[in-house]
Chains A and B, each alone.
Chain A
Amino acid sequence: MTQKEESFEPKIIAFCCNWCSYAGADLAGSMRLKYPPNVLPIRVMCSGRISPHFVMKAFQKGADGVLVTGCHYGDCHYMKGNYITMRRVTILKDLLKFVGVEPKRLRAEWIAGSEGDKFARVAHEFTDEIRNLGPSPLRG
């Protein structure tokens, strides 16, 4: 690894739904579980509210990775918002891949309000993965 790559700290935006994954992130905090400061959570009401536009805007503004999180299937507080989310994320990943942006930079995870440990683990894993990928090609 070169000096430059070693010092690369990715910027990661994590969209979290109010009812499960944000509560999970919150719990990670109350449990005093450490997760990388690279991950910046943004709260929305439901993962179904995470328009692909938000994701693209994050990349356009220089995010190296985007994490889309929500409730497990069956737990979405708006019934099935997360089904739509997963469909959109899949199509968007395939589109990113086609235009030469690594699809791994976008990841969807279901995290319950009680899974503070899962939130922390995903945040670690994803940050490592993006650090290995290097800066997003969209970063000017």
Chain B
Amino acid sequence: MEKFKKYIKELFESGEIEGFLGIRKNGLHPVPHLFTPEHPEELETLTIPDVRYPMTEILLTIVRKYPDKKLGIMVRGCDERALNELVKNQKILPELIKHIGIACSADLAASCRCAQPYPEEIHYGEKVAPVEDRSDIEAIDTMPQEERFDYWMSEFSKCIKCYGCRNICSMCFCDQCTLEDNDLIATGQAPPAIPIFHLIRAFHMAGRCIDCGLCEEACPAHIPLRTLYRKVRESMSGFLGYVSGTEGGEKDPLEFLGSEGYMVPSKIDEK
């Protein structure tokens, strides 16, 4: 940890970054914090706990206010996937954002069921094995159709329309949100119309979701949102060969034609 703090300090001193978005200990609570060269002493409180925060979502807020600052950000595997998408969608400039990589612990990787619990370059921690687990999707895929419908409708009906799932999501970077479009979903009315509220969000996650699972952690109604978005993520790779969160490459084929423009999806089994 001391080595890590020293590394950040050096980055400040050399001017390579003008701020570092990390986590500090506030009494007993770890909270996200923007460390700055003006207050190097704050680095004493820097910590790397086994919990996650929507770091890239916080970064976006900072970048909107200070668009030309060089910033470092503490990234886990999921955060890095999010940053890759934000670059592709022109929300951040890669030359201004330095990734400071953290490998997640085996415990965290297991509780997140994370398929890639480490970023490209690691400055802290040891790489642990990815967790491949799609049992949540399988459980639903194998239900008869009516049962699937009843299952999701009963889950969706628990929604209190707090928008927590959207607000915590760093892939929800649109200036105007469809979930607040009165012509589609009545605004100022809770609970929301179902399933349209959840299906619209799910469709938007196709081609964007980087499978961090923060939405599901945030949902006060414990709706298995991640399962829904993992499914659309799978559909995107199955039918269109597209995986979001990878560095560079093509953009979301549901919104952009792509370099050759002629790509058609493979055929769906309608049974």
Contacts and interface: CB of A to CB of B under 8 A. Distances in A.
Interface of A: 52-53, 56-57, 59-60, 73, 79-80, 83-84, 86-88, 90-95, 97-104, 137-138
Across the A-B interface, the 5 shortest Cβ-Cβ residue pairs: A100-B149, A100-B148, A90-B265, A60-B196, A94-B235
B263 A83 contact: yes
Interface string B183-200: 010000000010110011
Contacts of B177: none
Contacts of B141: 98
A13 B264 CA distance: 24
Contact of A91 (B143, B153, B193, B206): B206
A83 B262 contact: yes
Contacts, number: 103
Q: Is the interface of B mostly helix, strand, loop or mixed?
A: helix
A95 B202 contact: yes
Contacts of A87: 239-240, 253-254, 263-265
Given A91-B239, A94-B231, A99-B148, 5 more contacts: A52-B203, A60-B195, A73-B262, A97-B268, A104-B270
A91 B232 contact: yes
B261 A80 contact: yes
B148 A98 contact: yes
B257 interface: yes
A57 B196 contact: yes
A53 B197 CA distance: 10
Nearest to B261: A80
Given A83-B263, A88-B254, A99 B152 contact: yes
A59 B194 CA distance: 11
B247 interface: no
Interface in B128-146: 140-141, 143, 145-146
Given A88-B254, A94-B239, A102 B145 contact: yes
B53 interface: no
B45 interface: no
B257 A80 contact: yes
A56 B253 contact: no
A90 B195 CA distance: 19
Interface centre among A52, A59, A100, A102 (most CB of B within 10 A): A100
A100 B152 contact: yes
Nearest to B227: A98
Interface of B: 140-141, 143, 145-153, 178, 181, 184, 193, 195-196, 199-200, 202-203, 206, 228, 231-232, 235-236, 239-240, 253-255, 257, 261-265, 268, 270
**Main SS of chain A's interface residues?**
helix
A83 B145 CA distance: 29
A95 B206 CA distance: 10
Contacts of A97: 268, 270
B254 A56 contact: no
Contacts of A91: 203, 206, 232, 235-236, 239-240, 254, 265
Contact of B195 (A73, A92, A99, A104): A99
A31 B147 CA distance: 45
Nearest to A59: B196
B268 A56 contact: no
Nearest to B253: A87
B152 to A, nearest CB: 4
A90 B239 contact: yes
Contact of A137 (B146, B200, B261): B146
Given A60-B196, A83-B262, A91-B235, A137 B268 contact: no
B199 A95 contact: yes
Contacts of B235: 90-91, 94-95
Contacts of B150: 100
